[in-house]
Amino acid sequence: MASRSPTYRLLAGLLVTLLAVGVYSGYTMVQLRSLRSLQAGTIDRNRLDSLLLLRIQNSLNSLALAMRDMLDTDVSNVSNAERYPLTAWQPQFRRIRTDLEDALAREEQVAIGEPDPARRRYLADSFQQFWDSLDRVFAIAASGNASEARVQIRNSLQARQAALSTDVARLLVANNESEQAAALRTQELYSGVERNVYIFLAAMLIVVVITSLYLVQYVRRLFGQVAELSEQRGALAEQRRELAQQLITSQESTFRSISRELHDEFGQILTAIGAMLQRADRRATRDGIPPTEDLREVREIVQGTLEKVRSLSQALHPSVLDEAGLESALAAYLPGFEQRTGVSIVYEKTGNDHEPDKEVSIHLYRVVQEALNNVVRHSRSTQAAVRLRFEDSAIVIEIEDDGIGYQKTTSHGLGLVSMRERTDLVNGTIEFLAGKRGGALVRASVPYHLTENHAAY
C-alpha cells in the first residue's frame, strides 16, 4: 500500500510556522515600540527635566549667595555699605530671575506629568511670592530704609529661597526615582524580548527537528519501498530470465527432437519408398514392362517430399551445427535462404576460428535466422550482408540490409525480443543500429570466456 504524500502535512507545518513567526514578530514590534516610547518619552525627557531642575537649583543657590552678600555689607564697615547700597544688587537679581523663569518655562514643557498637579502649582506660586517679596525689599531700600530691607531679606527672602530649593530638590529626587523605574522597566522589556527570542528560537528548532525527523522517516520509508520494489523487480527479472531460458531451451530441444524424427523416421520411410519405387522401375524395365506414368509420378512426389522433409529438418535444427559448428551451419543455411526468398546474401568471415560451444552456437544461429526473416518481412530490401568476425575478445555477428531501416511507427515485435533474450542468456550484447546505407544493422557479440563449456544450459 502506497504511503500518503507528506505535502499536506508539510504545508500545514509551514502555515503554523508562518503564523507563529507573524505572531512573534507582531508581539516583538509592540515591545520594541513600547521600549522606544519609554526611551524617548520617559527616560530622555526625564534626564532633560533633571538638567533643567539642576539649572534652577543653581540659580536658587546664586540667589542665596547674593542675599548673603547683601547681608554681609551690614556687618562690614560703613563706607562699604554706603558705597554698595542694596539697590545696586537689583540688576544681578534681575538676571537671575530671567534665567530662572526661562528654566522654569522649559522645565514645564519637558516635565512628565506630576502625580500631584497641586505640587507644581504650589512651586509656581512660591516663585511668584518670592519675586513679589524681592520687589518690596528693593522698594523699601529705594525709599532709604536699608535696615528694614535687610530685615525683610533675613526673615522672608532667605526662608522662601530655602523652601524653593527644598521643592526643587524633591523634584530632582522624584525624577531620579522615575528614571530608576524607567530603567527597571527598560530592563524588563529587554529581558522580555530576549526571553521571547530564546523561546522563538527553541520553538523554531523544535519545528525544524520535528520536520526533519518526519522527512527522514518518510524518505527512509520511501527508500525502503524503492528497495523492496527493486528487489521484487530483480526477482521478477531473474524469474523472467529463467523462464525465457527454460522456454528457449525447451523450444530448441523440441526442434531438435522433431528434426531428428523427421530426418530419421520420415526420411527413412520416404527413402525406403523411393528405393522400392526405383527397384520396381528397374525390374519393370529389365522384364520389358514399361513403367506406368503413375509409378513415375509417385516416385517424383516421394523424392520432393523427402527434400522438403530434409529442408524442414534443417530449419528446425541443422545437424551440421552439431557436427561442423556455427561457421559451417551459416555457410549451408544462407544459400538455401537465398533460393527460398530471393534476397541476395553476402557472407563474410574474418579472423581466426574460435568455435563456441553448441548452446551458444544455436543462439547466434537463431539470431541470424530471425534477423534475416525481418529483412524479408520489413526491410523491403533485396540485399543483405552477414558478417562473422572472430575478434580478440569476442565473437561478433552482424546482419545488415539496405532497406528502410527501423521506423518510429514500427513496434518491437517478438523477433527483436527473442534476439535480445537469446543474447542475454549467453551474457552477450545485441544492438539494433542504423546501417551505413540507411538500412537496419543488428550486431550481436558474445565474449570468448562465455563461449566454451557454457554451464548455464
C-alpha cell of residue 144: 532709604
Length of the chain (residues):
457
Helices (H) and strands (E) in the chain, counts: 13, 5
Task: Please tell me the predicted confidence (pLDDT) of residue 69.
Answer: 85
* This prediction's pTM: 0.43
| CB 444 within 8 Å of CB 397 | yes
Task: Please tell me the predicted confidence (pLDDT) of residue 398.
Answer: 92
Identity of the amino acid at 338: E
For residue 401, give the nearest of 384, 414, 423, 388 by alpha carbon.
384
C-alpha cell of residue 177: 526615582
> Which of the residues in the chain have pLDDT under 50?
1-2, 74-83, 115, 409, 411, 452-457
| CB 168 within 8 Å of CB 53 | yes
- Residues 330-382: tens digit of each pLDDT: 888 888 888 888 899 999 988 877 777 777 888 888 899 889 988 988 888 88
SS3 category, 433: strand
Boundaries of every domain in the chain: 7-217, 318-457
What is the Cα–Cα distance from 178 to 49, expressed in whole angstroms?
11
Question: Cell numbers 517478438 label which residue?
Answer: 414
Radius of gyration of the chain (CA): 62
Question: Long-range contacts: 449-455, Cβ < 8 Å, 24+?
Answer: 450/360, 450/426, 451/354, 451/356, 451/357, 451/360, 451/395, 451/426, 452/356, 452/357, 453/357, 454/356, 454/357, 454/359, 454/360, 454/426
How high does pLDDT run on average in the chain?
77
- Residues 61-119: tens digit of each pLDDT: 998 898 888 887 644 444 444 446 888 888 888 899 899 888 888 887 877 655 456 76
Distance of CA 97 to the CA centre of its chain: 77
Task: Please tell me the predicted confidence (pLDDT) of residue 38.
Answer: 63
* Pairing mode, strands 440-447 and 383-390: unpaired
What is the Cα–Cα distance from 262 to 252, expressed in whole angstroms?
15
| CB 383 within 8 Å of CB 431 | no
SS3 category, 40: helix
For residue 256, give the nearest of 318, 306, 311 by alpha carbon.
318
β-partners of residue 388 are: 349, 397
For residue 340, give the nearest of 375, 392, 298 by alpha carbon.
375
What is the Cα–Cα distance from 39 to 46, expressed in whole angstroms?
10
What is the Cα–Cα distance from 137 to 70, expressed in whole angstroms?
12
For residue 92, give the nearest of 128, 115, 63 by alpha carbon.
63
Task: Please tell me the predicted confidence (pLDDT) of residue 48.
Answer: 82
Task: Please tell me the predicted confidence (pLDDT) of residue 81.
Answer: 43
What is the Cα–Cα distance from 142 to 88, expressed in whole angstroms?
10
Distance of CA 24 to the CA centre of its chain: 28
What is the Cα–Cα distance from 354 to 211, expressed in whole angstroms?
63
- Residues 426-444: tens digit of each pLDDT: 888 999 888 887 889 999 9
- For the domain covering 318-457, report its CATH number: 3.30.565.10
